[in-house]
Structure 1
């Protein structure tokens, strides 16, 4: 597995570089034992075969450029890790969640078990989504929790949750029938239901009904969906150009409260991978061309920093056909493309 990275390196998230930012997509050393990766602002979390590692901010105040192996108090295999500005969450094969809370008064910087009773759950967790102010867990019996509250969420028979993803204050859910649901804070249009208000329980995004969606991604205050036909739909806050859409006067839109089709420059382009970052967005076509747009303050678009904001999808990189793209991840201030040999 190979990683190609662009963006913030202020804290040493890329140990092999002393640059403060990686201003173009740069291939990192081979990671044969890598299982998963999660992008935070000051750390990159690596899940490897031999454990969990933090690259970047150390465990002591004002200590950076560290590689720290974290102790997770479980003998079971770790299957999933996610991070945001406030915490790191880890899920093991036995359905137990562990948390490192950066905002705790006396965190001790240790990863502790999140007891099911504390989270309001009575069942094993199989998936979760983690945001700055919202954490959601899905159990093996299909129950959905916004910790510690169980949500009123039911799918049709033989339909299951395929993916959950969280922004700063909202969650988007994709099911196996291609339907998309959202809930949380929608005051920046990120729920896609046309109403700028808080929504306590998941509701289907009606505008996307009839379009078979295969992937979803959430940024800080915006959301993306990818259709089976390779089309991208996007909605939410456009404060830094991360929506990539314009009005009739060619001015960037402000808040887009319902999903809109996103045109890419060029002909016959089918998108295969999407990722929404804190304030930027990434699309990778089936021809492995990378388009990026939005905030570029930390070079997370893979462009020089004199371009602080890019308001429309722009070709920034082309991935070698000798590599197969597995997925792309966009964090608060960085982007990583995960590939394997074709």
Structure 2
């Protein structure tokens, strides 16, 4: 299995700055073409090891390896430093802390300090219970990206997974029910209003729709139903919901060329020359079914700050939203309010099996097409 990255690269999270010609500041900062993470030239990087999983924050990337966890913490002036921890099962990374999960404990390390001991730790008593959970979930609750790290969750929720946005949380139970809480100013909670919630509250609009996966961006939320449908809600300022965005359409109008003009055409299926005003969505305060053309079923989804990426059951990657740093992978710096397939992987006969979004970049795991026949839900590693 190989990992590719594209988007924001100011701190060398995707490509070492040494790969670019001197003075090519734009390419150093913005990587619009999916790039194999193994191409990094800094030998201290964990990319030389076999990567099983990737975690990302705004300026940092961490990689989970077969022989333990390696966290690549990059800085523009000092290259990358490597943190390795044997027997680590999962991790999460923020701008200030790296959290590691071991079979018997959880540790949070302050990345801005050079301490040889974690800044926070917690023992795990029931190791069997912890093996079924994935960060930010831990036994009895979840881990936040900054202190206080541990937050309790009611055992009655029977949590399957949890996604943390900028200021809100999206929780999925084992029965497929979705709960949200936190800041609601952009409709990201999906309760048909802009009110915040201090405690988990059921997203009533999804009642009767079993959900299999959830994701959260800075101010938007996405989930996948058992049938492979995408539901979106929250802020759509950059088209991150895949719904018509006035800001993006206005930007297209200001650009010359036929394509921009076509984007601004009003929809008219009546066969007459009469034009109808297009409906734009700034805030979608309750879940909306996202129509993707051509029709396809999705198996996993991830959200950046203002962009979204989802993988279909056939191994195609679709992205949409803010694209100023190339994080949509379409080899341009354009934003889009329509889900578009990333052709780079299709033309390279690569089958996408996983996607992880950082705030301004995207990381994908791929295998070659010839080894993806009867692909299980949990993709195998490529040797």
Query: What TM-score, normalized to structure 1?
Result: 0.80
Structure 2 residue ranges without an equivalent (≥5): 21-26, 39-46, 246-275, 373-383
CA distance, structure 2, for counterparts of residue 295 and residue 111 of structure 1 = 39
Matched residues, number = 314
- What does 1:306-325 align with in structure 2 at a 5 Å threshold? 306-307=333-334, 309-317=335-343, 319-320=345-346, 323-325=350-352
* Structure with the largest fraction of strand: 1
Please report how far the alpha carbon of residue 148 of structure 1 lies from its aligned counterpart in structure 2 after TM superposition: 6.5
Please report how far the alpha carbon of residue 229 of structure 1 lies from its aligned counterpart in structure 2 after TM superposition: 0.9
Please report how far the alpha carbon of residue 152 of structure 1 lies from its aligned counterpart in structure 2 after TM superposition: 5.9
Is 1:25 the equivalent of 2:34? yes
Residue in 2 aligned with 1:326? Answer: 353
- What does 1:29-40 align with in structure 2 at a 5 Å threshold? 29=38, 33-40=50-57
Residue in 2 aligned with 1:82? Answer: 92
CA spacing shift, 1:228–1:10, aligned 2, 3 Å:
same
CA spacing shift, 1:318–1:261, aligned 2, 3 Å:
farther
Residue in 2 aligned with 1:187? Answer: 185
Greater mean deviation of Cα atoms: 286-295 or 176-185: 286-295
CA distance, structure 1, for counterparts of residue 141 and residue 95 of structure 2 = 26
Structure 1 residue ranges without an equivalent (≥5): 131-136
CA distance, structure 2, for counterparts of residue 35 and residue 53 of structure 1 = 13
3-state SS of 2:291 partner: coil
CA spacing shift, 1:34–1:290, aligned 2, 3 Å:
closer
8 A contact 1:41–1:331 mirrored in 2: yes
Residue in 1 aligned with 2:176? Answer: 178
Residue in 2 aligned with 1:112? Answer: 118
CA distance, structure 2, for counterparts of residue 56 and residue 287 of structure 1 = 34
Deviations 1:119-170 (A, max 9, x none): xx9988935756xxxxxx531xx456774775463436xxx32211101111
Is 1:155 the equivalent of 2:156? yes
Residue in 2 aligned with 1:67? Answer: 80
Residue in 2 aligned with 1:133? Answer: none
CA spacing shift, 1:4–1:252, aligned 2, 3 Å:
farther
Residue in 2 aligned with 1:271? Answer: 298
CA distance, structure 1, for counterparts of residue 56 and residue 332 of structure 2 = 20
CA spacing shift, 1:109–1:313, aligned 2, 3 Å:
farther
CA distance, structure 1, for counterparts of residue 362 and residue 114 of structure 2 = 29
Equivalent of residue 289 in structure 2, options 255, 258, 261: 261
CA spacing shift, 1:46–1:167, aligned 2, 3 Å:
same
8 A contact 2:330–2:343 mirrored in 1: no
* Structure with the largest fraction of helix: 2
